[in-house]
A and B are shown apart, each in its own frame.
Chain A
Amino acid sequence: MGRAVVVIGASLGGLDALGVLLSTLSASFPWPLAIVQHRSAEDVADTLPLILQRRCALPVREAEDKDPMLDGHVYVAPPDYHLLVERAALALSTEARVSLARPSIDVLFDSAVAAFGASVVAVVLTGASADGAQGARLVKARGGTLLVQDPATAESGVMPLAAIAAAKPDRVLPLAALGEYLNRLAAMRG
């Protein structure tokens, strides 16, 4: 399979959901993870990575432009920037909001598909918007892996349902099981 990337999108209720998901990831998880969590543009205190770090064995940091994308590192989109991935590095953009969102989950997923093709593993978590659905469709169209939080277990099921309506997920699971599935996937392919 070669090198893969995990891209994760979360919105309303995402802080708790990401905490649970990241806490289940193995300390030797072999792939980089890039996260878009919708949040206010004025949330510049950079607290999100700190909060997530407390629950995660992997290093978590807020993405800076051109940061090298290291295996087993977790990168969070800064508020008011789109986060994109290239093969070896992260990229940021201040371009217009996409479906009212900046950062946009669709933008992250699209960039991951362009750079990693079928090696993308995309995860759509709780949220009250349809962001991520378009990206989910692209991931599946190129043979990547799509995981969606079970809408019944999500604080808001709107975003998971939109992703499920746009593409056929490989797995629909509650949070802890999603983390375990990522561990197994990485152990098999990594």
Chain B
Amino acid sequence: MGSDANDGLEALEIELLTQGIFRHYGVDFRHYAYASLRRRIWNCVHAEKLATVTQLLDRVLRDTDVMERLLLQLSVNVTSMFRDPSFYRAFREKVVPLLRSHPFIRIWHAGCSTGEEVYSMAILLEEEGLYDRARLYATDMNEAVLAQARKGIFPMSAMPEYTRNYAASGPKAQLSDYYLARYDFALFRQALRRNVVFAHHNLVTDGSFNEFNVILCRNVMIYFDRELQGAVHRLFHASLRRFGVLALGRKESLRGTVHEASYTELDPVEKIYRRSA
């Protein structure tokens, strides 16, 4: 945490850094939420053993290895299986019945990171008897985390927490039914990803690529500013079938966004919305 520079100077340096990265690499952090982006930038400055944001700009423009490390640091990849168990319970109770009438279900998991929540949804759909007519498109801007997601291998040390989460999500089996314990790792059953497509997609720069029954984007847009959130909401609205379902994080909302009036609330606490217009 380096706050020794004055406000104005720090804000200018951060603007120059995101501008420089965008101009040189085409990766756009210019509309990320400022307060948390600033923290992650300082974490990079310190990890690279530098003193200022401007020094980081100098390094990042000249060294692609630094850029790769920065890309990982600036995108947030903290996630867990069945994060917010009450969301999965609400999904079973309120969304699954809507999906039953569809012969084919397309789900877009936008910003899937290392895949924990994708496997959670696959397990849920399997238990509800919907998996075989579903296809899950799990996307992220970051190839490194996608490679990890494709493997479906998570640390054993996380299993107690995931097992508790799962148990509170209204399950029909045991979480351990879905993985093999191998030393320090839990290998999730390959069959869970038979209908999952992991693919690269950047919400900031890429457009719509299909029409979905469900879009899941939980705790991703909290890292975007209002303007970028608006653009992503337009993208989701254009990618969602009429009466399709949009799920945000528990502490996000459609309030004040461009498409506030285009949705009705399916679950106001879990922030599950249904497209109505």
Contact = CB atoms under 8 A, between A and B. Distances in A.
Contacts of B3: 110, 113-114, 138, 141-142
Interface residues of B, number: 31
Given A65-B252, A142-B3, A86 B35 contact: yes
Interface string B13-48: 000000000000000000001111011100000000
Interface in A81-132: 81-82, 84-86, 91-96, 106-107, 110-111, 113-115, 117
A81 B251 contact: yes
A66 B39 contact: no
Nearest to B218: A94
A78 interface: yes
Contacts of B40: 95
Contact of B38 (A95, A114, A141): A114
A66 B256 CA distance: 10
Interface in A34-82: 42, 44, 62-66, 78, 81-82
A134 interface: yes
Contacts of B54: none
A13 to B, nearest CB: 26
A118 B126 CA distance: 55
A114 B35 contact: yes
A178 B97 CA distance: 53
Interface stretch (B191-199, B219-227, B231-239): B219-227
Contacts of B265: none
Nearest to B38: A114
Nearest to A86: B35
Given A114-B3, A141-B4, A78 B34 contact: no
A66 B35 contact: no
A34 to B, nearest CB: 12
Residue among A94, A106, A117, A138 with the most chain B CB within 10 A? A94
A84 B38 CA distance: 11
A44 B253 contact: no
Interface in A117-161: 117, 134, 138, 141-142
B35 A111 contact: yes
Nearest to A111: B35
B211 interface: no
Given A106-B1, A142-B3, A111 B78 contact: no
Contacts of A93: 36, 39, 76, 222-223
Contacts of B223: 93
Given A92-B251, A94-B219, A84 B35 contact: yes
A64 B251 CA distance: 5
Pick the most buried of B7, B35, B249: most chain A CB atoms within 10 A of its CB.
B35
B250 A117 contact: no
A66 B1 contact: no
A117 B36 contact: no
B7 A96 contact: no
Interface string B244-274: 0000011111001000000000000000000
B6 interface: yes
Contacts of A113: 3
B78 A94 contact: yes
B35 A115 contact: yes
A94 B222 contact: yes
A117 B7 contact: yes
Interface of A: 42, 44, 62-66, 78, 81-82, 84-86, 91-96, 106-107, 110-111, 113-115, 117, 134, 138, 141-142
Q: Which 6 A-B pairs have the closest CB atoms?
A: A84-B35, A93-B36, A65-B222, A111-B35, A91-B35, A94-B219
8 contacts: A63-B251, A66-B222, A84-B36, A94-B79, A95-B40, A110-B39, A111-B39, A141-B3
Given A42-B164, A44-B250, 15 more contacts: A65-B221, A65-B252, A65-B253, A66-B256, A84-B39, A86-B34, A93-B76, A95-B78, A96-B78, A107-B39, A110-B3, A114-B3, A114-B7, A115-B7, A141-B3
